[in-house]
Structure 1
Amino acid sequence: MDPFADTLQRLREAFDSGCTRPAEFRAAQLKGLSRFLQENKQLLQEALAQDLHKSAFESEVSEISISQNEINSALRNLRAWMKDEKVPRNLATQLDSAFIRKEPFGLVLVIAPWNYPLNLSLEPLVGALAAGNCVVLKPSEVSKSTEKVLAEVLPRYLDQSCFAVVLGGPQETGQLLEHKFDYIFFTGSPRVGKIVMAAAAKHLTPVTLELGGKNPCYVDDNCDPQTVANRVAFFRYFNSGQTCVAPDYILCSPETQARLLPALQSAITRFYGEDPQSSPDLGRIISEKNFQRLRGLLSCGHVAIGGQTDESDRYIARPEHPLRCEQSSPSLPGRTAQRVMLLPSRLGPGTSAPTVLVGVQETEPVMQEEIFGPILPIMNVRSLDEAVEFIRHREKPLALYAFSNSSQVVKRVLAQTSSGGFCGNDGFMHMTVASLPFGGVGASGMGSYHGKFSFDTFSHHRACLLRRPGLEKVYALRYPPHTPRNLRVLLAAMETRSCSCALL
């Protein structure tokens, strides 16, 4: 039995009916997404706390608010994005209408990861719905609580004839990918990205792959070490380092390293206290598998800061959550019994303290794989030239960072390297600018999204030319028998020019 056949058939029939194409329908879907966020904010915060121990601040900033902003932008600009785009014409088509029409692809598949399970599900979904597609959303089975909310609550806010959530692990995802989709949007690891791309190739399905990689962070000698430490530590340890655009390693001189280490220690202590494990602002590692992998990386180089781990760490998420079981509290004197909603105690993933490694070698595992955890290696380079060469001889990263009081140094790193995105003197703030595309290059991915780029990603840009039925005598110079004169006229007419003169 194919578990997905009926669902996909239903969605295809809905798309073929044309119901998703009107702007009014698309706007209604986006407004439904907005209500989902607004009416289930606490539920979502608790699910994120269960999955990743995310604080309310992290959940709001990196999951809920950023998704809401994406929806608001799409609603404000939807009709403008949908308009046919007029294009310049050549002399031969001056009397015609030439334009680009943005059409929905049809049935699209969005495969989301676990590290930002709400944001990275909804942001591409916004673009897909705004573009008028029917959508299958496959949330990560690793972030189980958020997956449950997306599967059980989100469909109530959308037209279920045009939207579906499918569940399962790698086996089910493999079965799903055997089907033909009109577009696939995948966020995850390069290893799985290759599997998705191979499956899409069988059907010649276009894809966007949002992958990862090792994001370099160059720190120049000419800098304020405490400012750099504050910004690098914040973005490295945000979401316990489980961010695809987090600074993955620092390149700096030995002298800058000596100044940077006490500044990093100061920043980490101010952010998370003397005992980071007890900090409400430090997340948890998502799974036992990832925890063990990260613990193995601690053997690389030398631990300069942190390094403590706790495999048995547990936590209890906040109360009042529809996903929990109900129990009656004991009656207290003078009070009636109340219904208290308790979350079951959950075996939380392990904790790993914010860690800095020094003396690491390029050949060690911590410099060969994306870390995806609260570990920051520092590698020494003798000069900016050496740092640039080091970056250029590795796969192109998803993001690249450069810190310096000299704008010329930052601009030089930008000019002599390639990456999906770049930010000078800060962490991944470029992701918050909706007018900038977000995406990788080379091994870190292909395609982009955010804001209008999301709408364009999920739209087929159809080239259209509407000609007049008359003027056959003018157009006849194309027909045989051909002459040198007709050829000269045709070549001149087909050249795109800025003039608006009429066809002679």
Structure 2
Amino acid sequence: FGRIVNQRHFDRLINLLDTCSGKIFYGGKIDEKDRYISPTIIFDVSPDDPIMKEEIFGPIFPFITIRTADEAIRFINKRPKPLAIYLFAEDKIVTDRFIQETSSGALCVNDVVLHVSLDTLPFGGVGESGMGAYHGRYSFNTFSHQKAVRGYNGLLEIIGSRRYPPYSRTKLARLLRLLKKRQLPFDDIPYRLILTAIISFIIGLLVAYVLIESSSTSKTSSTSTSTLSCHHS
């Protein structure tokens, strides 16, 4: 571990270490002949250091001290969107804030890299950290083109004939009315409330069906008993 793939990348990492204003807390051992850099932790790094402006791709871990969640969110949002955010927090409110107020390819809570191993989750970046996502169906969607196809319909052409010039004030007014965004009847109702109502309705139908079937069975049984009693007499 710690052997760098080639001389160019080794020199690049050494330059990042040399231009870093922070203090090496752990590691920092270098063997140029073996292209070896030991796992290195650096404290008190400046956000303006070159090591903070590009992906490292090496065993170097720079630390910046941040006091509050607000400060951390501002720090993230001032920079290019990362491939992943690894958030360590016990407060759900803090976790929700990072989910909602930052943008990244992924966000992993109290763990690292685990999301990459789950083929049911999309893996990819945002903006400079990557375009598209892969894993399972997400790979298929990324490398597929959704082609829009519209067929001709004579009736719709007659109805929509007002979209063709020449345009009168009446035509323009009607077109503007059609283009105006309209609010659907259920837009203001929370999704969970609609789902609860649908489930309750289905349960009600099932209960009604069971009661009707039960009542029908009881009547049939009663009729059969009466018939048997008559024959017995």
Calculate the TM-score normalised by the size of structure 2: 0.63
Q: Deviations over 1:195-234 (max 9, x none)?
A: xxxxxxxxxxxxxxxxxxxxxxxxxxxxxxxxxxxxxxxx
**Partners of 2:59 and 2:31 in 1: how far apart?**
13
SS at the partner of 1:460? coil
Aligned twin of 2:158: 476
Aligned twin of 2:74: 389
From the superposition, tell whether residues 474 and 447 of structure 1 become closer, same or farther in structure 2 (CA, over 3 Å): closer
From the superposition, tell whether residues 461 and 451 of structure 1 become closer, same or farther in structure 2 (CA, over 3 Å): same
Segments of structure 1 that go 5 or more residues without pairing to the other structure are 1-281, 314-349, 499-504
Aligned twin of 1:362: 47
From the superposition, tell whether residues 456 and 474 of structure 1 become closer, same or farther in structure 2 (CA, over 3 Å): closer
From the superposition, tell whether residues 410 and 311 of structure 1 become closer, same or farther in structure 2 (CA, over 3 Å): same
Pairing 1:374–2:59 present = yes
SS at the partner of 1:464? coil
Give the letter for the 2:26 counterpart. Answer: I
Alignment of 1:440-455 (within 5 A): 440-455=125-140
Structure 1 residue 420: deviation in Å? 1.6
Aligned twin of 2:31: 310
Pairing 1:295–2:14 present = yes
Aligned twin of 2:211: none
**Partners of 2:4 and 2:130 in 1: how far apart?**
24
**Partners of 2:48 and 2:4 in 1: how far apart?**
25
From the superposition, tell whether residues 430 and 491 of structure 1 become closer, same or farther in structure 2 (CA, over 3 Å): same
Give the letter for the 1:290 counterpart. Answer: H
Pairing 1:413–2:111 present = no
Give the letter for the 2:6 counterpart. Answer: S
Structure 1 residue 286: deviation in Å? 1.0
Give the letter for the 2:158 counterpart. Answer: A
Structure 1 residue 293: deviation in Å? 1.7
**Partners of 1:473 and 1:288 in 2: how far apart?**
70
Aligned twin of 1:14: none
Pairing 1:438–2:157 present = no
Give the total of aligned pairs: 173
Aligned twin of 1:463: 148
From the superposition, tell whether residues 303 and 452 of structure 1 become closer, same or farther in structure 2 (CA, over 3 Å): same
SS at the partner of 1:401? strand
**Partners of 2:128 and 2:110 in 1: how far apart?**
25
Whether the aligned pair in 1 keeps the contact of 2:2 and 2:58 (CA below 8 Å) is: no
SS at the partner of 1:459? coil
Segments of structure 2 that go 5 or more residues without pairing to the other structure are 186-233
**Partners of 2:85 and 2:44 in 1: how far apart?**
22
Structure 1 residue 459: deviation in Å? 1.5
Whether the aligned pair in 1 keeps the contact of 2:83 and 2:130 (CA below 8 Å) is: yes
Give the CA RMSD over aligned residues: 3.1
Q: Deviations over 1:269-325 (max 9, x none)?
A: xxxxxxxxxxxxx25211111112212333321111111122222xxxxxxxxxxxx
**Partners of 2:48 and 2:99 in 1: how far apart?**
26
Alignment of 1:78-117 (within 5 A): none
Whether the aligned pair in 1 keeps the contact of 2:2 and 2:37 (CA below 8 Å) is: no
**Partners of 2:127 and 2:159 in 1: how far apart?**
46
**Partners of 1:386 and 1:426 in 2: how far apart?**
21
Give the letter for the 1:285 counterpart. Answer: I
SS at the partner of 1:376? strand
Whether the aligned pair in 1 keeps the contact of 2:2 and 2:39 (CA below 8 Å) is: no
Whether the aligned pair in 1 keeps the contact of 2:84 and 2:105 (CA below 8 Å) is: yes
Pairing 1:426–2:111 present = yes
Aligned twin of 2:3: 284
Q: Deviations over 1:46-80 (max 9, x none)?
A: xxxxxxxxxxxxxxxxxxxxxxxxxxxxxxxxxxx
Pairing 1:351–2:72 present = no
**Partners of 2:74 and 2:146 in 1: how far apart?**
38
Calculate the TM-score normalised by the size of structure 1: 0.31
**Partners of 2:24 and 2:156 in 1: how far apart?**
79
**Partners of 1:445 and 1:288 in 2: how far apart?**
26
Whether the aligned pair in 1 keeps the contact of 2:84 and 2:104 (CA below 8 Å) is: yes
Q: Deviations over 1:228-272 (max 9, x none)?
A: xxxxxxxxxxxxxxxxxxxxxxxxxxxxxxxxxxxxxxxxxxxxx
Aligned twin of 1:269: none
From the superposition, tell whether residues 464 and 385 of structure 1 become closer, same or farther in structure 2 (CA, over 3 Å): same
Whether the aligned pair in 1 keeps the contact of 2:106 and 2:123 (CA below 8 Å) is: yes
> Which structure exhibits the higher relative contact order, with contacts defined as CA atoms closer than 8 Å and separated by 6 or more residues?
1
Pairing 1:399–2:84 present = yes
Q: Deviations over 1:449-472 (max 9, x none)?
A: 22212111222211234567xxx5
**Partners of 1:297 and 1:410 in 2: how far apart?**
32
Structure 1 residue 386: deviation in Å? 1.5
Aligned residues: percent identity? Answer: 42
